[in-house]
Amino acid sequence: MENFEVINPTRIVFGKDQLDRLPILLKDQNVKNILLVYGGGSVKKIGLLDKVLKKLVDFELTEFPGVEANPEYDTLIKGAELAKEKNIDFILAIGGGSVIDGVKFMSGAINYKGNPWDVLKRKEGCVFTSAVPFGTILTLPATGSEANSGAVISRKSLKAKLTMGGPLFFPVFSFCDPSLVASLPKRQLANGIIDAFMHTLEQYITYPTENLLQEREAEGILSTLIEVANVVDHPSDYKLASNLMHCATHALNGNLRCGVPTDWTTHMIGHELTALFDIDHARTLAIIAPRLWERKFTDKQEKLTQYGKRVWNLEGTNEEIAREAIQKTEMFFHGLGVSTKLSEYTSEFKGAEVIICDLFSERGWTQMGERKSIDLDDISAIIQSSF
């Protein structure tokens, strides 16, 4: 087994009717002055904002609504300026991955002396060195952002979507209430299942490891997600919703990667497809992953076979099982109403491979994947085969 070191300080408060704990956890942190950040209004529509406000009567509050899906740099800068002006000592994110990611960025940008864009661009010497503490109330199980220290920030005017993170950006706490799943539209539920599924697969479809526990844990999450996928038609079913939420948090809380190789190429290409064509994050993953596994079939065959046998109960020769496992995954996505063809999302797909390869080349991402064997020719071929 490979060596590893892991830490995750985020307190997860899981379950329904847990909001009485909110003021207690905030007082534990000596919080006085809170910036309440949320998105385009779903938190109002589902009555969550009112419930939260009632719990926060003892604190000074400033609201910052309007964080977009794929949170926008310019909006977040305004939020950071407001937080500074109001002397905010804690930020509370209420929403899905976009609001939570946006809050992570704001928490670092608030006291940053330089240009926060340089941090996202990873300009030499430019890093956030402090972060205003924050907590989250999760409304959409998908990204795992509630339990990790990463974020992805978009800047539409530059067609950019960039990652950031580090130990400063773990939420202090996250409330994960599966009953909030009931209000989610089918599109977001399907997205959530696929995003969690792909987070698991990108820490799994590599090569066989000696970390038997991590492999079984990944297979457990995948099997559970398949088992509860009918939550898209029954979002009020608490058993289905709670398992989806539990899986999504576990898929990206740092546990699955302990002592195993990972391949995040699908996510890296996916982020660029969102930046170029505004396609939902999870859908970009559904477009790319099957094509990537086909392109790198030899590298990934052993793990695809293991996945096919253990998660899909397939039979046949190892190669047949590995190929069928790719098809099964694609059919699973189709069954959730998600197309795996780029051309079904945009008619302007031609040339996407050139733009993305140029960007990857600029960033030095020329040897990706668990074996560093995915080069720019592969990236280009994967994107073209997704048309």
- The site for ligand NZQ (CB under 6 A) is made up of 39-43, 46, 69-70, 95-99, 101, 139-140, 142-145, 148, 150-152, 180, 183-184, 188, 191, 195, 252, 267, 281
Decide whether 47 or 208 has the Cβ nearer to ligand NZQ. 47
Give the three-state DSSP class for 179.
Answer: helix
CB of 280 to ligand NZQ, least distance (A): 7
CB of 241 to ligand NZQ, least distance (A): 11
Decide whether 139 or 306 has the Cβ nearer to ligand NZQ. 139
Decide whether 145 or 206 has the Cβ nearer to ligand NZQ. 145
CB of 353 to Zn ion, least distance (A): 21
Decide whether 96 or 116 has the Cβ nearer to ligand NZQ. 96
* Tokens read off for 332: 């699973």
What is the spatial distance between Cα 328 and Cα 331, in angstroms, rounded to a whole number? 5
Segment lying near Zn ion (by CB under 5 A), choices 66-74, 188-196, 298-306, 368-376: 188-196
Tokens 């899905």 correspond to 96
Give the three-state DSSP class for 137.
Answer: strand
Decide whether 35 or 39 has the Cβ nearer to Zn ion. 39
Taking Cα atoms as reference points, which of 80, 88, 83 lies closest to residue 105?
80
CB of 145 to Zn ion, least distance (A): 9
Say if residues 140 and 192 touch (Cβ distance below 8 Å).
yes
Decide whether 269 or 321 has the Cβ nearer to ligand NZQ. 269
280: contact with Zn ion by CB under 5 A: no
CB of 27 to ligand NZQ, least distance (A): 27
What is the spatial distance between Cα 140 and Cα 137, in angstroms, rounded to a whole number? 9
CB of 96 to ligand NZQ, least distance (A): 3
CB of 136 to Zn ion, least distance (A): 17
**Which entry of Zn ion, ligand NZQ, none binds 108, CB below 5 to 8 A by partner kind?**
none
Q: Give the CA count within 13 Å in the CB-facing half-sphere of 137.
A: 27
Decide whether 101 or 195 has the Cβ nearer to Zn ion. 195
Query: Which of 195, 215, 263, 299 lies at the binding interface for Zn ion (CB under 5 A)?
Result: 195
Q: Is 47 exposed, middle or buried (0-12, 13-18, 19+ CB in 10 A)?
A: exposed
Decide whether 91 or 314 has the Cβ nearer to ligand NZQ. 91
**Which entry of Zn ion, ligand NZQ, none binds 126, CB below 5 to 8 A by partner kind?**
none
**Which entry of Zn ion, ligand NZQ, none binds 65, CB below 5 to 8 A by partner kind?**
none
CB of 114 to Zn ion, least distance (A): 29
Letter for the amino acid at 292? L
Instruction: Note every long-range contact of 299-306, with CB atoms under 8 Å and residues 24 or more positions apart, other chains counting.
Output: 299/207, 299/369, 299/370, 299/371, 299/373, 300/205, 300/206, 300/207, 302/207, 302/208, 303/204, 303/205, 303/206, 303/207, 303/208, 304/205, 306/208, 306/215
Taking Cα atoms as reference points, which of 368, 348, 346 lies closest to residue 357?
368
CB of 272 to Zn ion, least distance (A): 13
Cross-strand partners of 155: 160
Give the three-state DSSP class for 38.
Answer: strand
**Which entry of Zn ion, ligand NZQ, none binds 284, CB below 5 to 8 A by partner kind?**
none
What is the spatial distance between Cα 174 and Cα 11, in angstroms, rounded to a whole number? 6
Decide whether 146 or 195 has the Cβ nearer to Zn ion. 195
* Tokens read off for 317: 């020769």
Q: Output the residue with the shortest Cβ distance to Zn ion.
A: 195
What is the spatial distance between Cα 311 and Cα 309, in angstroms, rounded to a whole number? 6
**Which entry of Zn ion, ligand NZQ, none binds 139, CB below 5 to 8 A by partner kind?**
ligand NZQ
Where on the chain is the footprint of Zn ion (CB under 5 A)? 195
